Amino acid sequence: MKYYYNSLNKMVTFIFIFVLAIDVTMVLGQGTRVGFYSRTCPRAESIVQSTVRSHFQSDPTVAPGLLRMHFHDCFVLGCDASILIAGAGTERTAPPNSLLRGYEVIDDAKTQIEAVCPGVVSCADILALAARDSVLMTRGLTWSVPTGRRDGRVSRAADTSNLPGFTESVDSQKQKFVAKGLNTQDLVTLVGGHTIGTSACQFFSYRLYNFNSTGGPDPSIDASFLPQLRALCPQNGDSSKRVVLDTGSVNNFDNSYFSNLRSGRGILESDQKLWTDASTKVFVQRYLGVRGLIGLTFGVEFGRSMVKMSNIEVKTGTNGEIRQVCSAIN
């Protein structure tokens, strides 16, 4: 009888591991895997993390900058570090990317890695790792990042037109996410990355004074919050002034961003729409633990959605290259 139960336990364990392996393969995507550099450059991930930590300690704004940069990279030609290429007419010169920050962090990490493992680690992988570590620096949960991407050789400003915009409807946002293999939960989860970071007044001040040419504010804004926003962004004031996206918790990667949406305190119009649209509202509610709905843990789901996003149209094998310098094609 003891032998029977031991055999049964071993069989159950084998089946669990087999199913888990299939699930991991499906999630990580063909061509990338966790620990890709374990033999060829075992210090790669630790170098990226220490570099992010060093820059973050000097300037905490690099954390949301790197997270946003990874998102903008993956949604244009896939996660191939094309966002990092400098020069006229490249992605980084396009309006949606004009205020991105954190390039110096990637360059620093690349320089250090090249010194110990020349020609091995891609800029695309460095960016994916740095985005994960940015969440970790802001007290968020960590996750395992599949690596093995190669760098793209094409970067065109015109290709950024499919990036979701700050006035975009939920239906339009969902279409753009579906086109990249991401669902509605991924949309709400990844936009939840706005729990850290800021936005310039120019991207939302129209909501405060003359929304849709009504001569008044966006009715979805909490009336008690409106005076605070108007004080931060006066009419005809400095449009470049930065305002936190998650009021009261800008430096903590947590679910308070969703609480602000529920209270009508979303800063960007596209963010607040996640609460007013029924298809996305349910996921906001699940992150808030609303009674009657199956709850979701934001930190856990964010890692899962980031893994899915980080494998959009990746270049692996002989496709692409390993750049010597992240800002230029070899």
Q: Considering only the C-alpha atoms of the chain, give the largest distance between any 2 of them, rounded to a whole number of Å.
A: 82
Q: Compute the distance between CA of residue 26 and CA of residue 237 in angstroms, rounded to an integer.
A: 50
Cβ(153)–Cβ(321) under 8 Å? Answer: yes
Pick the catalytic residue from 55, 70, 72, 194: 72
Distance CA(85)–CA(98), nearest Å, equals 13
CA dist 99 and 201 (Å) reads: 13
Token output for 273:
């729409």
Can you tell me which residue has the tokens 């991105």? 100
Task: Note whether 73 and 148 are within 8 A (CB).
Answer: no
Residue 321 dihedral angles phi and psi, to the nearest 5°: -150, 175
**Helix, strand, coil in percent for the chain, rounding step 5:** 55, 5, 45
Residue 201 and residue 244: Cα distance in Å, rounded? 10
* Three-state secondary structure call for residue 66: helix
Looking at 82-181, list the stretches that DSSP marks H as alpha helix, in order from N- to C-terminal side. 103-116, 123-137, 170-178
The reply to whether 55 belongs to the active site is: no
Q: 166: buried, middle or exposed (CB in 10 Å: 19+, 13-18, 0-12)?
A: middle
Q: Which residues are catalytic?
A: 72
